[in-house]
Structure 1
Amino acid sequence: MRTLRPRGRLIRTLTATAALTLLAGALAACGSDSEASATIGAGSSAGTVTVGSLSNGAAKETTLKVTEVKSISADLPKAVADKGELVVGVGALPAGFAPLAYVGSDQKTLTGAEPDLGRLVAAVLGLKPQLKNSTWENLFVGIDSGKVDVAFSNVTDTEERKRKYEFASYREDNLAFEVLKDSTWNFADDYRNLAGKTVAVGSGTNQEKILLEWRKKLRAKGRELTVKYFPDNNSTYLALSGGKIDAYFGPNPGIAYHITQVATTPHPTRNAGKFSGAGASLQGLIAATAKKDSGLAKPVAAAINHLIENGQYAKWLAAWNLSNEAVGTSEVDPPGLPLDNS
């Protein structure tokens, strides 16, 4: 994760998952940097935010009551408060990455868990959300130039990024194991439970590195873990449904999304356990990202904590099947991935 890419190489696996869906045509329709949406969301009205709109089956549409909290909005930087809007950056071009950010079923509105949280935070701050969708690289250009106030775009908190940005954490950065729904196997936070299993993983990813380290430890104990590679996620899931592998190890959000897509098929799947994307020694965190010393991280974290305390945060995660990435508290600039693993 030495370059500013969403979750390092993990996002490549997540994007491949998105490509499996019928959303592909809509996602491809958005091919250059643009303002994706300037509204709170389809079906929203004053004092409410609707999450999960236009999700094409990826989320349960839920309307939440959210109003301005003046004790929190009072801490906004004057420049942001005066313009009355929060410019929320999302780096989802060109293809998007379901369920986090992608073009909705109307083929024009940016939807997903990340834009929805941006809308919720803006409501607590008493600001109109203006969503700007760009490429990943241009997302950071937007923050640096002041054209974007804060990014909600699956950005991992790292010590390297803290040199230029300030953070307000809002989700755990997790990997997960996906198995067939009728499988009795669970990871149970112990790599030794992988002994005797056949697991698929994406080549060149962070999760591959972790899995191979576990295989090495198991072999030192005289036990075996078989690691399989497939050219794409479609092939991986065919192998899973056909019983050729026991599990798939990949980014938790992509797995959460795929679970919703196959829930009513002959081969439904489930999550068999998660693991921090930062490894065993640190819980990785996804965080709202603003320019360093902008003064935005503090009120954004306070807004997220308000949503946590009042239950809207849990309902937002549940709508997108991401409850297993919940944090207890949003922190300003929490410990991030160290410089030697950023």
Structure 2
Amino acid sequence: MIQRRTILSLSLGALAAASLAISFAKAQAPFDLGPEQPGRIRAEKDLAAIAALPQGFKFVEPGVLTVAISPGGPPLGTYATDAKTVVGADPDFAQLIADSLGLRLNLVPIAWADWPLGLVSGKYDAVISNVGVTEQRKEKFDFSTYRQGLHGFFVKADSKVTQIREPKDAAGLSFSVGGGTNQERILVEWSKQNVAAGLKPLELQLYDDEAGRLVALRSGRVDVIVQPHAQLVFISARDKDIKRIGTLSAGWPLKSDVAVTTRKGSGLVDALTVATNDLIRNGKYLQALARWGLEEEALERSETNPPGLPKY
């Protein structure tokens, strides 16, 4: 049987305060969060991608690629130090796509829950905001993949745990994880597989927020923290007291890729896939990911409407 302990949110005030104190005590963020973004990677016009646009295709605003993004946090997308400009890996990729199509970029910050209706109603040309491909979403939207969807396994910098690649590597270890998340679902299944193989189960400590999960790791109450990979990359680079020991597909045991999302049948998807594959070939794509420490999430090639996660 899996060992599970749920930590109530009422106890997290002190934990959050402790985590913030650690953060402020560290050096400044390792990534450029200023609004000017002088290091942003730019691309030339991609004639093949432009040719892949349907004849007479109409953008929301002529000459502009209007992209919706939810600034959920660094390094994928967050507000810059001016509290209004959105910066991060997803805005950088949006800029590359706009450049490739010979368009100016207009980023529209939105709440995550608003993107489906806004896209269907024609408020934006595309959504570039860590949207995963699912079979259910494919019924209403088209997808051009541009990044792997990964969870990360991270430990304290001085931990003796060096690698987690498969269930047996996790046997007997304790994990801080968000309750009700996809990560919890996967680790529960891993624990069942280990027990069936005669190995030790996993111990899961469930927390309502990231602050609690990090304090559990830093205080030694758990061996490993598990949550979306990009978030932990940023924390690791900023605080320098945790390190990555493995990654996990967000759709385990299936692949789960992140994609530029467009209206079903709008005609934009093929041009986006061509542009992305050309950016992969010319190296601009990897340069943009490396700027935010996300090389691990790079795709070898972009696909149009690949198999998505099934309906559960």
TM-score (normalizing by structure 1): 0.77
The aligned residue for residue 199 of structure 1 is 175
Shift of 1:287: 0.3
The aligned residue for residue 54 of structure 1 is 33
From 185, 204, 226, the counterpart of 1:249 = 226
Any conservation in 2 of the 1:179–1:270 contact (CA below 8 Å)?
yes
What pairs with 1:1-342 in structure 2 (closer than 5 Å)? Answer: 53-54=32-33, 62-77=39-54, 78-80=57-59, 83-92=62-71, 96-220=72-196, 221-263=198-240, 268-280=241-253, 282-340=254-312
Any conservation in 2 of the 1:68–1:124 contact (CA below 8 Å)?
yes
The letter for the 2-side match of 1:296 is: L
Deviations 1:268-295 (Å, cap 9, x if unpaired)?
Answer: 1111101111111x21010000001111
Shift of 1:312: 1.0
CA distance in 2: counterparts of 1:304 and 1:64, whole angstroms = 14
Any conservation in 2 of the 1:91–1:138 contact (CA below 8 Å)?
no
Any conservation in 2 of the 1:103–1:111 contact (CA below 8 Å)?
yes
Name the % identity.
Answer: 34
Which protein, 1 or 2, shows the higher relative CO under an 8 Å CA cutoff with sep ≥ 6? 2
Q: How many residues align?
A: 282
Shift of 1:21: 6.6
Partner SS for 1:305:
helix
CA distance in 1: counterparts of 2:66 and 2:150, whole angstroms = 27
Any conservation in 2 of the 1:199–1:249 contact (CA below 8 Å)?
yes
Any conservation in 2 of the 1:166–1:291 contact (CA below 8 Å)?
yes
Deviations 1:223-244 (Å, cap 9, x if unpaired)?
Answer: 2322122343223222222222
Partner SS for 1:286:
strand
The letter for the 1-side match of 2:231 is: G
Moved more, 64-73 or 325-334: 64-73
Partner SS for 1:62:
coil
The letter for the 1-side match of 2:301 is: T
Partner SS for 2:154:
strand
Partner SS for 2:59:
helix
Name stretches of at least 5 consecutive residues in structure 2 with no aligned partner.
Answer: 1-15, 22-30
Q: 1:65 to 1:122 in 2, by over 3 A?
A: closer
Shift of 1:140: 1.6
Q: 1:67 to 1:284 in 2, by over 3 A?
A: same
The letter for the 2-side match of 1:293 is: G
Q: 1:209 to 1:174 in 2, by over 3 A?
A: same
Name stretches of at least 5 consecutive residues in structure 1 with no aligned partner.
Answer: 1-16, 23-51
CA distance in 1: counterparts of 2:221 and 2:142, whole angstroms = 45
Alpha-carbon RMSD across the aligned residues, in angstroms, is: 2.2
The letter for the 2-side match of 1:211 is: L
CA distance in 1: counterparts of 2:306 and 2:190, whole angstroms = 28
The letter for the 2-side match of 1:54 is: L
TM-score (normalizing by structure 2): 0.84
Partner SS for 2:200:
coil
